[in-house]
């Protein structure tokens, strides 16, 4: 039952904290905190916070994984200036050949194709005419492929979650730090229109101080389970508890809270419901016996709560089984206002946070309800993020989840071309992906608090405030 043999249950940390100050007069507490191993950074190795690589004028890219997600990325890259698509790889050669058709239709040169064996992707990584390896395979291949690509001197962009275990996370961090190569997770939801606008508002103080953020991946996948290569996604959920797909919720929440740019996550607690709908699906649709079907680890609804160094909280949910509307549950709650998406997209603000350029008679507004639709529209126009000002039209034309996927790819290439730090670094990948294993540890120990490792190993306060980088 308790699977923490490979972790150090170091800390029976008796935190006798006498809080006399601003925390509502909280009394002393004591708790056991489970800590996991944090490897010592090898001597001479430096962190990757704010790391910028030399400019790459033309970004030469190779794609691995051309199932449902990968070909869309290939297509988006054909719309980005200063890119050459050099190679395409998939286990199935016919998928690589099909993706070649995207290049043909775009009247671009042919790419080299790799496939037909489990390891053919390695040859793509070994090419000397590639700067960036873009990985859109199943979860279990992400870390292995990303590590190998960096070792071959390539920058890496890897689909979500970037890694599934703490060992994988640490191997990505060590390799990125050692090779001085970017390892960016392809978290697209941070570029969605409401989220990026709200981030801009948060950075300009419209919500006051953000104290709490929420996010989720709530998406009934029952219509999709059969579509994944070798059933990888259902198989993973069958095997592991914890939030195995936390990054869509974590990304926007962590950027708004400046995680490892002045704050860091300290403690996590997770809890889940028993699984019902997927085991029943396995019985009904796949003829699995009841006994086998209910040997199912992942909870139907998994909740994770996190507290940060600066006294903020994050709440993240995962539910891919319940019949309910799609939701990423995006919320920012501050001392002067509130942003919410799913099911209602809106803002609630104290009157002091709105000026006449946005709403006349704004002094009559208060945060008990959402601002009227026309005020929300005016706010979103006023605080439109510079990235959206530049890219919105093109992004909507090219598409990919309404445009956010294109913005993600464009920004990745733009930052590489201009020698800028990427919008997301290897520590974002680590923090947002870590809920899978840290949450599992918590759940398997009666929802005990688990320490969130400082993946930057001491550099979380070096940069003050999350910001996107621009060339000028």
Give the interface with ligand NAD as residue ranges (CB under 6 A): 64-70, 89-92, 95, 118, 121, 136-139, 141, 159-160, 186, 188, 228-229, 401
Q: Which is nearer to ligand NAD, 192 or 350 (CB)?
A: 192
Q: Which is nearer to ligand NAD, 171 or 447 (CB)?
A: 171
- Cβ 244 to ligand NAD, closest distance in Å? 10
- Cβ 136 to ligand NAD, closest distance in Å? 5
- Cβ 271 to ligand NAD, closest distance in Å? 24
- Cβ 424 to ligand NAD, closest distance in Å? 12
SS3 string, the chain, reads CCCCCCCCCCCCCCCCCCCCCCCCCCCCCCCCCECCCCCCCCCCCCCCCCCCCCCCCCEEEEEECCCCCHHHHHHHHCCCCCEEEEEEEECCHHHHHHHHHHHHHCCCCCCEEEECCCCCHHHHHHCCCCCEEEECCCHHHHHHHHHHHHHCCCEEEECCCCCCCHHHHHHHHHHHHHHCCCEEECCHHHHCHHHHHHHHHHHCCCCCCEEEEEEEEECCCCCCHHHCHHHHHHHHHHHCCCCCCCHHHHHHHHHHCCECCCECEEEEEEEECCCCHHHHHHHHHHCCCHHHHCCCCCCCCEEEEEEECCCCEEEEEEECCCCCCCECCCEEEECCEEEECCCCCEEEECHHHCCCCCCCCHHHCCCCCCCCHHHHHHHHHHCCCHHHHHHHHHHHHHCCHHHHHHHHHHHHHHHHHCCCCCCCCHHHHHHHHCHHHHHHHHHCCCCCCEECCCCCCCCCCCCCCCCCCCCC
- Cβ 70 to ligand NAD, closest distance in Å? 6
- Cβ 265 to ligand NAD, closest distance in Å? 22
Q: Which is nearer to ligand NAD, 216 or 371 (CB)?
A: 216
Query: CA–CA separation, 65 vs 90, rounded Å?
Result: 5
Q: Which is nearer to ligand NAD, 225 or 347 (CB)?
A: 225
Query: What letters, b where the CB count within 10 A reaches 16 and e where it falls short, cover 394-422?
Result: ebeebebeebbbbbbbbbbbbbbbeebbb
* Cβ proximity of 169 and 147 under 8 Å: no
- Cβ 192 to ligand NAD, closest distance in Å? 10
Q: Which of 242, 265, 186, 209 is nearest to 429 (CA)?
A: 186
Q: Which is nearer to ligand NAD, 57 or 118 (CB)?
A: 118
Q: Which is nearer to ligand NAD, 231 or 280 (CB)?
A: 231
Q: Which is nearer to ligand NAD, 102 or 375 (CB)?
A: 102
Query: CA–CA separation, 96 vs 88, rounded Å?
Result: 6
- Cβ 412 to ligand NAD, closest distance in Å? 13
Q: Which is nearer to ligand NAD, 89 or 452 (CB)?
A: 89
Query: CA–CA separation, 321 vs 317, rounded Å?
Result: 12
Q: Which is nearer to ligand NAD, 91 or 387 (CB)?
A: 91
Q: Which is nearer to ligand NAD, 234 or 375 (CB)?
A: 234
- Cβ 251 to ligand NAD, closest distance in Å? 10
- Cβ 235 to ligand NAD, closest distance in Å? 11
- Cβ 232 to ligand NAD, closest distance in Å? 6
Q: Which is nearer to ligand NAD, 49 or 412 (CB)?
A: 412
In the complex, residue closest to ligand NAD by CB? 67
């Amino acid at each position: 039952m308790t699977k923490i043999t490979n972790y150090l249950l170091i800390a029976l940390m008796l935190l006798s904290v006498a809080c006399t100050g601003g925390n509502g007069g909280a009394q002393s507490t004591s708790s056991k905190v489970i800590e996991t191993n944090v490897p010592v950074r090898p001597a001479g190795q430096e962190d990757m916070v704010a790391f910028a690589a030399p400019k790459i004028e033309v970004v030469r890219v190779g794609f691995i994984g051309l199932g449902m997600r990968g070909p869309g990325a290939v297509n988006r890259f054909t719309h980005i200036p200063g890119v050459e698509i050099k190679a395409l790889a998939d286990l199935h050669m016919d998928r690589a050949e099909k993706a070649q058709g995207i290049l043909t239709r775009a009247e671009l040169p042919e790419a080299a194709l790799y496939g037909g064996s489990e390891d053919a992707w390695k040859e793509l990584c070994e090419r000397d005419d590639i700067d960036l390896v873009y990985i859109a395979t199943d979860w279990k291949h992400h870390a292995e492929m990303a590590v190998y690509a960096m070792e071959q001197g390539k920058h890496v962009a890897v689909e979500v979650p970037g890694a599934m275990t703490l060992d994988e996370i640490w191997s990505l961090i060590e390799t990125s730090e050692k090779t001085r190569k970017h390892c960016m997770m392809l978290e697209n939801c941070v570029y969605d229109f409401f989220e990026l606008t709200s981030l801009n508002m948060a950075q300009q103080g419209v919500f006051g101080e953000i104290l709490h953020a929420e996010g989720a991946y709530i998406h009934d996948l029952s219509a999709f389970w059969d579509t994944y290569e070798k059933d990888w996604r259902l198989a993973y959920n069958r095997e592991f508890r914890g939030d195995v797909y936390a990054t869509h919720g974590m990304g926007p929440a962590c950027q708004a809270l400046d995680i490892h740019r002045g704050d860091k996550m300290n403690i996590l607690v997770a809890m889940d419901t028993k699984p019902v709908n997927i085991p029943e699906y396995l019985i009904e649709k796949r003829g699995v016996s009841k006994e086998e079907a209910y040997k199912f680890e992942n909870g139907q609804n998994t909740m994770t709560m996190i507290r940060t160094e600066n006294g903020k909280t994050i709440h993240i949910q995962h539910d891919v089984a319940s019949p309910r509307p799609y939701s990423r549950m995006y919320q920012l709650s501050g001392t002067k206002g509130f942003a919410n998406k799913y099911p209602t997209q809106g803002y609630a603000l104290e009157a002091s946070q709105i000026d006449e350029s946005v709403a006349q008679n704004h002094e009559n507004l208060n945060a008990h309800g959402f601002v009227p639709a026309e005020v929300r529209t005016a706010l979103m126009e006023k605080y439109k993020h510079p990235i959206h000002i530049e890219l919105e039209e093109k992004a909507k034309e090219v598409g990919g989840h309404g445009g956010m996927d294109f913005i993600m790819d464009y920004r990745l290439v733009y930052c590489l071309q201009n020698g800028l730090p990427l919008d997301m670094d290897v520590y974002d990948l680590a923090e947002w992906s870590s809920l899978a294993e840290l949450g599992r540890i918590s759940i398997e120990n009666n929802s005990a608090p688990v320490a969130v490792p400082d993946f930057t190993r001491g550099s979380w306060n070096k940069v003050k405030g999350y910001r996107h980088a621009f060339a000028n």
